[in-house]
Structure 1
């Protein structure tokens, strides 16, 4: 697998050999990044959850993201992400959290401009995780989130403060783009 655009274009990255890990294809990564580049205003802080090989976050770094936090629970995948960061020369612009996503959400203490999610296609709890994420302090004023998922899974139009903007099909994969809905905040009560 290779990085498809940006400073690290053409560099080969390692992918896990386990069948449980299904990295996003070049077509899906390219489509996701194009969709995000048209919407996301700031790429200073990026969160890549269910990272696997880290291909989405690595692609973001290659295209100019300031910093990426990778969250992956499998130790072997975390080691691969670290190797891939060295390969593309971006180890100083990233942190790898070898934790499951719900645990990481409770530990991460900053807001993200872009969130990338490529969960396992068989993950039946993804809706619950996205709802928690959408209501968490990780969501900033202009957060944009992209989720790849199976065409057999229907995602909700809204997760917490995130509202779906669009969804595109690529083979058996769908890419859903969400953005923080500022009208949600206007319905919150002010200070008492």
Structure 2
């Protein structure tokens, strides 16, 4: 789905709630220039570090901290693609706040944000100006937002 919408070559990717880092590593393998992985869980961060070392591609940066803390900082770059797979226990209000923070210099004018959520929960409230496509796949909903 993403490949049809985005050329990965040379882009900057932000992988929020990165888990194992699989999504961000896939972006690197498809030509992304830079991926920032943000994960608060120490065990998951160790897995991401090991996976980055195993893959051996340049451009990976890991930040072990809560996503809300990371997004409260000043960005060092604007991202072309944001992958967000928050735990289903993260409320819709928290997800909507995260999406609002992204508009504060975290994304480029042509950015795409991919949000994965539980299909049975409410859709996130996206900031004004975002175009949204939402698709359900079994128990999962993918929301794709673009400026």
**TM-score past 0.5 threshold:** yes
In 1, the alpha carbon distance for the partners of 2:44 and 2:114 equals 21
Q: Deviations over 1:70-119 (max 9, x none)?
A: 001111111110100111122x3110000111111133321001100110
Q: 1:47 aligns with which of 1, 14, 21?
A: 14
Structure 1 portions without partners, runs of 5+: 1-34, 181-192
Number of residue pairs the alignment of both structures matches: 143
* Bigger strand fraction: 2
Provide the residue aligned with 1:190 in structure 2. Answer: none
**Match in the other structure for 1:109:** 76
Q: Which whole-Å CA distance do the structure 2 matches of 1:58 and 1:101 have between them? A: 18
* Distance of 2:141 and 2:49 partners within structure 1: 28
Find the aligned partners of 1:118 and 1:161 in 2 and give their Cα distance: 22
- 1:64 counterpart = 2:35: no
Distance 1:82 1:39, change over 3 A: same
1:73 equivalent in alignment to 2:43: no
State how 1:98-177 maps to structure 2 within 5 Å.
Answer: 98-107=64-73, 108-124=75-91, 125-133=94-102, 135-156=103-124, 158-164=126-132, 166-177=133-144
RMSD, aligned α-carbons: 1.6
Distance 2:52 2:108 in 1: 26
Secondary structure (helix, strand or coil) at the match of 1:143 reads strand
Once the two structures are superposed, residues 15-68 of structure 1 have per-residue CA deviations (whole angstroms, 9 ceiling, x without a partner) of xxxxxxxxxxxxxxxxxxxx2222224551000001011111111112221110
Please, what TM-score do these two structures have when normalized by structure 2? Answer: 0.88
Find the aligned partners of 1:156 and 1:39 in 2 and give their Cα distance.
Answer: 21
Q: Report the alpha carbon displacement of residue 157 of structure 1 after superposing the two structures with TM.
A: 5.8
Determine which of 56, 60, 71 is the counterpart of 1:94. Answer: 60
- Whole-angstrom CA distance in 1 between matches of 2:127 and 2:5: 18
**TM score, norm. by length of structure 1:** 0.69
Instruction: Report the 3-state secondary structure (helix = DSSP H, G, I; strand = E; otherwise coil) of the residue aligned with 2:65.
Output: coil
